[in-house]
């Protein structure tokens, strides 16, 4: 069994990668230390060396650290202005730009599935029946527990707070009559596919019409941001849409592959091959 070194952060990284298969060096140092601090306070570790010793003796704590680093939080229709933009401009335009074949909508870093199912509900609302039938919902995350929740598609009422009540009645069934827990209706669930995937690895999808990768890049080091954007750009069809979080931006050489659809909402369109960058 490996012994601890004089570098507790390196020890934590080694223990974490051995159990969880993920390299913590992808995270910005400030983000990493903030998340480590949360868990250190939770277990009463005075410093990194104490926390490294704790992790070595209690490997189950590594699973809780993974949850802290995965940062899984979402809600249906989170950021209403963003979903209005999708409903009024983006999805109808995509249906025209991709006139045949599947309309693949990918939530990259989907957490427990709220964003992906929100996309499915929105597409059902704004697209004509022939286009609705073409919609495929794709969700990926690194956290298997979050993906299990996404596949179950069962949520407390609190996560539906941003939805109109009429949509709740139309697209959710109460798990128990009069209860506080609701499940996404089967016609939307059957369009959804969830996979475990690391955004720093090869993209699991191609010919995607819309990718939502919001509030993921901000936690990654710049070189890792560029790698993720390379994969996402390669996954999109020409004219496809990439949506980032409001405090995120395009970086690296891939910036020339996109034109801006909406600056405030950080929505970009993939240029067709050979298109020149706008001045």
Query: For 183-210, how does the pLDDT look when each residue is reduced to its tens digit (9 = 90+)?
Result: 999 999 999 999 999 999 999 999 999 9
CB distance 151 to 194 below 8 Å: yes
Query: For 106-116, how does the pLDDT look when each residue is reduced to its tens digit (9 = 90+)?
Result: 999 999 999 99
Domain endpoint, select from 45, 70, 95: 70
Residues 66 and 90 in one domain: no
Domain endpoint, select from 70, 89, 121: 70
Number of domains in the chain: 2
| Residues near 212 by beta carbon (within 8 Å), at least 6 away in sequence | 105, 106, 107, 108, 115, 119, 243
Which of helix, strand or coil describes residue 269? strand
Task: For residue 277, tell me if it sits in a domain.
Answer: no
- Residue position matching structure tokens 């003796």: 57
The mean pLDDT value for 245-255 works out to 87
Residues 163 and 246 in one domain: yes
Task: For residue 75, tell me if it sits in a domain.
Answer: no
Query: For 206-232, how does the pLDDT look when each residue is reduced to its tens digit (9 = 90+)?
Result: 999 999 999 889 889 989 999 999 999
pLDDT of residue 2: 56
Task: For residue 276, tell me if it sits in a domain.
Answer: no
Residues 103 and 43 in one domain: no
Q: Which residues pair with 104 in a beta bridge?
A: 136
Which domain range does residue 25 map to? 8-70
pLDDT of residue 1: 46
Query: For 78-128, how does the pLDDT look when each residue is reduced to its tens digit (9 = 90+)?
Result: 889 999 999 999 999 999 999 999 999 999 999 999 999 999 999 999 999
Helix (H) or strand (E) segment spanning residue 213: strand 208-213
Q: pLDDT category, 70, cuts 50, 70, 90?
A: confident
pLDDT of residue 277: 52
Residues 183 and 240 in one domain: yes
Residues 117 and 34 in one domain: no
Task: For residue 229, tell me if it sits in a domain.
Answer: yes
Residues 30 and 53 in one domain: yes
CB distance 196 to 141 below 8 Å: yes
Task: For residue 230, tell me if it sits in a domain.
Answer: yes
Q: pLDDT category, 73, cuts 50, 70, 90?
A: low
pLDDT of residue 263: 95
Residues 24 and 85 in one domain: no
The residue that leads in pLDDT, 128 or 25, is 128
Q: For position 85, which CATH number holds?
A: 3.40.50.150
Given a cut of 60, is residue 274 above it in pLDDT?
A: no
Task: For residue 248, tell me if it sits in a domain.
Answer: yes
Given a cut of 50, is residue 49 above it in pLDDT?
A: yes
Q: pLDDT category, 279, cuts 50, 70, 90?
A: very low
| Separation CA 73–CA 78 (nearest Å) | 10
Task: For residue 278, tell me if it sits in a domain.
Answer: no
Residues 250 and 207 in one domain: yes
Residues 132 and 216 in one domain: yes
**What does pTM read for this prediction?**
0.84
Domain endpoint, select from 17, 45, 70: 70
What does pLDDT average to over the chain?
90
Residues 158 and 46 in one domain: no
Residues 265 and 157 in one domain: yes
Residues 42 and 153 in one domain: no
270 CB-side CA count, 13 A = 25
pLDDT of residue 126: 97
């Amino acid at each position: 069994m490996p012994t601890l070194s004089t570098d507790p952060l390196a020890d934590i990284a080694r223990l974490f990668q051995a159990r969880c298969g993920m390299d913590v060096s992808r995270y910005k140092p400030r983000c990493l230390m903030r998340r480590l601090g949360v868990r250190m306070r939770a277990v009463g570790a005075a410093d990194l060396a104490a926390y490294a010793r704790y992790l070595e003796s209690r490997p189950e704590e590594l699973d809780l650290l993974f949850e802290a680093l995965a940062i899984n939080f979402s809600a249906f229709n989170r950021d209403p202005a963003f979903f209005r933009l999708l409903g009024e401009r983006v999805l109808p335009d995509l249906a025209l730009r991709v006139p045949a074949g599947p309309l693949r909508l990918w939530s990259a870093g989907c957490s427990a599935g709220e964003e992906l199912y929100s996309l499915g509900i929105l597409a059902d609302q704004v697209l004509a029946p022939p286009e609705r039938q073409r919609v495929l919902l794709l969700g990926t995350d690194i956290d298997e527990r979050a993906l299990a929740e996404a596949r179950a598609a069962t949520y407390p009422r609190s996560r539906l707070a941003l939805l109109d009540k009429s949509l709740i009645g139309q697209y959710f069934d109460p798990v128990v009559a009069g209860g506080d827990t609701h499940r996404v209706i089967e016609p939307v669930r059957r369009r959804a596919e969830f996979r475990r995937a690391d955004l720093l690895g090869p993209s699991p999808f191609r010919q995607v019409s819309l990718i939502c990768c919001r509030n993921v890049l901000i936690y990654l080091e710049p070189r890792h941001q560029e790698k993720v954007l390379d994969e996402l750009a390669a996954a999109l069809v020409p004219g496809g849409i990439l949506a980032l979080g409001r405090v995120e931006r395009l970086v690296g050489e891939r910036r020339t592959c996109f034109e801006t659809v909406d600056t405030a909402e950080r929505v970009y369109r993939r240029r067709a091959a050979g298109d020149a960058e706008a001045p």
